[in-house]
Chains A and B, each alone.
Chain A
Amino acid sequence: MSLHAGLEPGDGLDFEFSIHRVPAESIDGLEASVLWATEGKGSEDIGVHYFERLSGTQLSQRPLQEPRMLSTKLPLCPLSYEGRLMKIRWCVRLRLFLKGGREISAEQPFYLGHVTREV
């Protein structure tokens, strides 16, 4: 996966991904999401801004190693935040579902806004 690390609210987010070392016939589907999640002392909160599910058939129409591009416009909030009790982290998450119930997930974090890097 690749994208810019620091982004501003309302900016367009373009990210590309490719799948390597996984045979196409073993893939059941793929979920790509742009989301924020809280980290810290409290229970986790999660908010999905962008979500797309590709089935195994859709994925196998093109070679898996070929980069695929997804785009979305980022929301105005919540901004990335690093506090004492909680952090708000943005990331692009890919979840690859394999036949037989196994999953592989990959994350690419990014920073939305410029409120805090560390309190």
Chain B
Amino acid sequence: MSKLVRLFGKKRGSRMSGWWVIGSASEAAFFGSLFLLGIVSLTVVGTWQLFWPQSQIIRVGFGFWLMMIASLSFVVIGLSGLILRVAQTVASPELRSALAQQAEREHQRRSRGPGATSQLPNVPSLQPFTDSPGERLAYRLASQRGEIGPLVLSFSFAAAWNGLLAVLLVIAVGNFARGTPNWFLTLLLVPFAAVGVFSARWFFTLFRRLSGLGPTIAEISHIPLMPGETFSLYVCQYGRVSFRRLSLAVICFEESTYQQGTDVRTERVQVVRHIICERENCRSEPDEPLELDCQFRLPSDTMHSFQGQHNAIVWKVVVEGDSTRWPSFCRSFPVVVYPPSSVARVGPNPL
């Protein structure tokens, strides 16, 4: 006796019971219907306007354009969903991945010439790291600045809020001058002024910290870093600042991106931390910047950099300091670590 087709599945560990074809076919049918609905409504609205432009039923206006946008969105969502479901039904995840990788390799070969396909897939490209030569060592590392964003944000907020406050203030003063004071507006100005003062203070604190600490420059002897090999690092801190403690470390982070409901979240965890050098009670002057020259050997069992679509292993050189006048700061410079057995490697910069 043949088995009955089960319409509903049940998750059993990592697999699903039931007949998965029914689910996939239903999803494909839903998206196909959506696509057809979009096509039909688009055709009706378009042809009506083309052949009966004087008709009062569908006139060009808000309703017409709303119908057009809704029909187009049905077409796009339906078509993309249908293609995705059909691809998922027809091809296994391995076949889809193999085809996508083959297409990517072909694209690389065409764009860079024959033999230019990457020997190390899923390892970040070296180009952004090697296009800036250093003065002391081969390469100057690009800083990953996390300070400019808050500064711009604080400036925008403070400017907008205090602009609004100024307008309200002019209106309130005008009311007083005309002898018709608006007490509600006058009282409202008090909390508005407090927020304005705090936002301006926030901006100036960030600005003072950024301008007072001065830039940090990091240079490295070679890129990529190889496990088991020694590399040199030069760090220069500008600005007039005294440090209680200044440390230089190589840190490995894991980054994972996942969907939670309708949100896409990224979680970052520090997994490895190697302190390269540490100084206490040191000082940097405008004419005599603080310089650190260090050497470090990465352990031979170090995991290499990895860049997937949703997951990554990221290595950074991190400069952290506790200043006497400023809040503690942290500046990071991404680097790339290759797997130990890889031979593809960029040599020292001839400059």
Contacts and interface: CB of A to CB of B under 8 A. Distances in A.
Contacts of B304: 77-79, 115
B279 to A, nearest CB: 29
Contact of A46 (B20, B93, B313, B338): B93
A43 B254 contact: no
A77 B341 CA distance: 9
B94 A95 contact: yes
A84 interface: yes
Contact of A41 (B94, B267, B303, B313): B267
B258 A41 contact: yes
B262 interface: no
Given A33-B94, A83-B313, A101-B21, A78 B306 contact: yes
Interface in A82-111: 83-86, 88, 93, 95, 101
B275 interface: no
Interface string A1-30: 000000011100000000000000000000
B41 interface: no
B97 interface: yes
Interface residues of B, number: 39
Nearest to A97: B92
B216 interface: no
A interface residue count range (under 10 / 10 to 19 / 20 to 34 / 35 or more): 35 or more
Given A8-B341, A76-B339, A115-B302, A86 B256 contact: yes
B339 A42 contact: no
Nearest to A40: B256
Given A43-B259, A83-B271, A9 B339 contact: yes
B101 A84 contact: no
A116 B301 contact: yes
A98 to B, nearest CB: 12
Contact of B121 (A38, A47, A95): A47
A64 to B, nearest CB: 20
A54 interface: no
Contact of A9 (B97, B121, B341): B341
Contacts of A45: 308-311
B254 A38 contact: no
Contact of A76 (B119, B254, B302, B309): B119
10 contacts: A9-B339, A31-B94, A33-B94, A40-B256, A42-B310, A47-B101, A51-B94, A77-B120, A77-B304, A77-B339
